[in-house]
Amino acid sequence: MDDDGDGLFRADGVSKVYPNGIRANDGISLHAAPGEVYGLLGPNGAGKTTLVKQVIGLLKPTAGRITLGACDLVADPAAARQLCSYLPQAQVPIDSFRAREAIVLCGRVRGGRRKAVERRADELIEALDLGEWRDKRGIGLSGGVKRLVGFAMVTVCPGRLVILDEPTNDVDPLRRRLLWEQVRQLGDRGAVVLLVTHNVLEAEKAVDRLAIISDGRLIAEGTPSAMKARDRGHLRLQLMIAPGHETPALPPFALRSTLAGHNLMTVIAEGDAAVGIKWAQQVIAAGAAEEYALSATSLEDAYIELTGRDSAGGVPGGIGG
C-alpha cells in the first residue's frame, strides 16, 4: 500500500450505474484537504451513501477515480478500510459490550496502543458527557447515547479520512453541541472529515465547505457563505400555522415558500420587510397563525432553491400562490 502524498481526498468523475440501469452517482467530482470538514448534503436518495460506499471499498464505481493522497481507494479497497474511519447511519451493534469497552476495543483493532487508546477513550467519554453510561451495556442504552458511543468508537483512533453519516441522529440538543465540537477537533488534528447529512441548519455551523448532491449529481459546491450569497438581498419570513387551520394564501411578494409541518417559510426581498411583517400580523390576528419571525436567509434557503426540497422533505411552491 502506498499512502504517501499530501493527504488530499479526491473523487474524480465518479459514476455508479446498477445492473437495473439506475444511475446512483453521475460524474461526481470533489476534493477535501486534511484539516477540512467537508459537508455532503442532499435529500434522502440523492446518492450520498452510494458515494460513501465506493470510498470505503464496499462498492466499485462504474467510472471515475477515488484517491486519498497517493493511494487509489478503488484499486486497493483494503487500504481504503485501513485509511478511512466510518460511522454509518445504522446504530453500531454493541448490545453485549459496555460503552467504554466498545470504544477501547475499536481503538485496539485500529492498531492503537492500549494506554493511548484508553486515555483517548476517557477523553471522549468526558467530552461527550457519557460518564454515567461508561460501564453500561449497549442493550440498555438509548438511541442517542448509542450514537455518541458509536462516534467515539470511530474517532478514538481515527483514520486519515473520517466519514460521518448523519452523526447527530437521535442525539439530544445538549450533547449534539458537544459532538459538533469533537467533529471540529478532528479537522483541527489534521483528518479529512466528510460529513454526510440532510440536516442543513446544523451543517452550516460545522463545515468549511460543502457539496450539494441531488439525483446523483453534484449541483453546487462552495463555502456556506458563498452558497448563501445566492440569496443576498433577501430575508426569511417564518410563520407558525395554528393547529387545525389551513395554510394561508401566500402574498404576491413571496418569492418562494416551503411548508414543513405547521411551519411556513417564505423568502422575501429586503425591501418588502415592512409589508411582510404586516401580512404576518394580519394572519395572526385572524387566528390562522400563532407567531412569526423575520431573519436573514440561511443555507437551507439556498438548499431549497437548488434541490426543490427543505431538510425535512417539504416541497416549495405547493401551498398556494
pLDDT value of position 321 = 30
Burial of 233 (0-12, 13-18, 19+ CB in 10 A): exposed
- Residue 313's pLDDT band, with cuts at 50, 70 and 90, is low
Please check the confidence at residue 2 and state whether its pLDDT lies above 60: no
- Residue 320's pLDDT band, with cuts at 50, 70 and 90, is very low
Q: 3-state DSSP call for residue 96?
A: coil
Q: Which of 200, 222, 244 is the last residue of a domain?
A: 222
Question: β-strands 23-32, 37-41: how paired?
Answer: unpaired
In this structure, are 43 and 108 located in the same domain? yes
Please check the confidence at residue 3 and state whether its pLDDT lies above 50: no
In this structure, are 63 and 196 located in the same domain? yes
Residue 320 within a domain: no
User: CA–CA separation, 37 vs 290, rounded Å?
Assistant: 38
In this structure, are 232 and 102 located in the same domain? no
Please check the confidence at residue 130 and state whether its pLDDT lies above 90: yes
Interval 137-176: pLDDT, tens: 999 999 999 999 999 999 999 999 999 999 999 999 999 9
Range of the domain at 183: 9-222
∠ Cα 153 209 148 (to 5°): 20
Q: Decide if 227 contacts 210 (C-beta within 8 A).
A: yes
302-317: average pLDDT? 63
- Residue 94's pLDDT band, with cuts at 50, 70 and 90, is very high
In this structure, are 274 and 213 located in the same domain? no
Please check the confidence at residue 1 and state whether its pLDDT lies above 50: no
Report residue 80 as a C-alpha cell.
481504503
Total domain count for the chain?
A: 2
| CATH for 17 | 3.40.50.300
Residue among 41, 47, 58 nearest 25 (CA): 47
